Amino acid sequence: MVTEHAFSGARRRLLGSALGGLLLPWGAGASAAVPARHWVTAWNEDGSHRVGLLQRATAGWRVASLIEVPTRAHGLQVLADGSVIAVARRPGDWLLRWWPSPDGRPGRAPQWCWAPAGRQFNGHAVLHPDGRHLLLTATDTEADDGLGRGLLMQLRLDRLEPVQEVPTLGRDPHQLRIDAGGPGLWVANGGIASRPETGRARLAQAPMDASVALIVPEPGTGHLSAEGPRQRWTLADPWLSLRHLAWHAPSQTLGVAMQAEHPRPADRRDAPVLALLRLSDAAQADPAVLRSVAAGADFGGYGGDIVATADGFSVSSPRTGRIGHWSPEGHWRGSETLAQGCALEVDSDGQRLQAAGDHLSLASETSTRPQASTPTPDPLPVQPDNHWQRWTPSGRAPVVWPDTPRTFPPLP
């Protein structure tokens, strides 16, 4: 556990580093003539926590540049100018905007944001469609019930200053998503009750409050407000924590990766790790239903990351070293193995899946499932943490709010 004293020391060191721009070059002599692909991720090494840029060239993977962060990082978001937003693992108190350099040369000084008093950051952020703000999940640690109230925080991107807060209709919000062609802003409320003094420790006797919330922007303005259109879905099993999200546009289906919190180990081990919300099936008088789907392999009740592919959804489980695949309707389509495999990413067309695990990466074609054999993993110089993302600072299509927000029947 990191004490407040340790946090304060880390803040002083990192703020000093921010003034000079902390970029550590690795392998700067690599040939520039070889076409390279880049990925951003976070990892832990030699007692330090890092966010870095990995480069994949003909000779293999290498670390192109990195920056040290005070605690374990979690969610990452690449912006159009090449900067990377990294958020502390929950319960966190820092957010970073970093400009990585593919050649390892010092670049623009990083920007830091520290959580305001009475707030904690919950691991994920996205760029607001206006391009001038960030949206991130947070918790009001001073809520009246003592268990924390979920918040959506809006920050100015240029200054990383908070400007607005909106409730997420739940507790312990984690990942949020805005997708092109999607109905609005999705938020996964993990539902785990905790207190600032005990960090990630769950209050054993507190009920879960997991849900998926859809927050619809105001028509014409894109403004998010507590009074605006919104909807909320829950599962029948109150011990499933909803964590990560993926949007499958062709089927208008939201995939949710889950983590089991059942008191009995056997119940946790056998719990499903994927839930689906199919909006294309919803009619005005028959709202969409969030439902869990079964897996044909052992995931230990722990879904680490999720992506939408051309053929459905893929979910990783670092606890069992397995990556599973489902159709958009929830039919099991097979799995692959990768030690400690968690971080997932797909190409823009959803045809190629790239996974990262224990110093290994695994690339596979999504259209060939179920596969008879697992592709050969590729060595990595580090072990990426929960997530990674392709670093493509140019040509990223902007995400816009829908012209006609989707409406749903009122909650019972």
Strand pairing report for 306-309 and 73-78? unpaired
pLDDT one-digit tens code per residue, 152-208: 999 999 999 999 999 999 999 999 999 877 778 999 999 887 665 666 666 656 668
For the residues 311-317, what does the mean pLDDT come to? 95
pLDDT one-digit tens code per residue, 3-26: 333 333 444 344 334 333 333 333
pLDDT at 130: 86
pLDDT one-digit tens code per residue, 253-301: 999 999 999 888 999 899 999 999 998 665 544 568 899 999 999 999 9
pTM of the model: 0.85
Q: What are phi and psi of 340, to 5 degrees?
A: 60, 20
Cα separation, 14 vs 112, in Å, equals: 9
Cα separation, 304 vs 257, in Å, equals: 7
Residue 376 has pLDDT above 90, yes or no: no
What is the average pLDDT score of the chain?
Answer: 81
Q: Which two tokens stand for residue 345?
A: 């990413």
Which of the listed ranges 29-43, 123-137, 146-160 does the model predict with the highest average pLDDT? 123-137
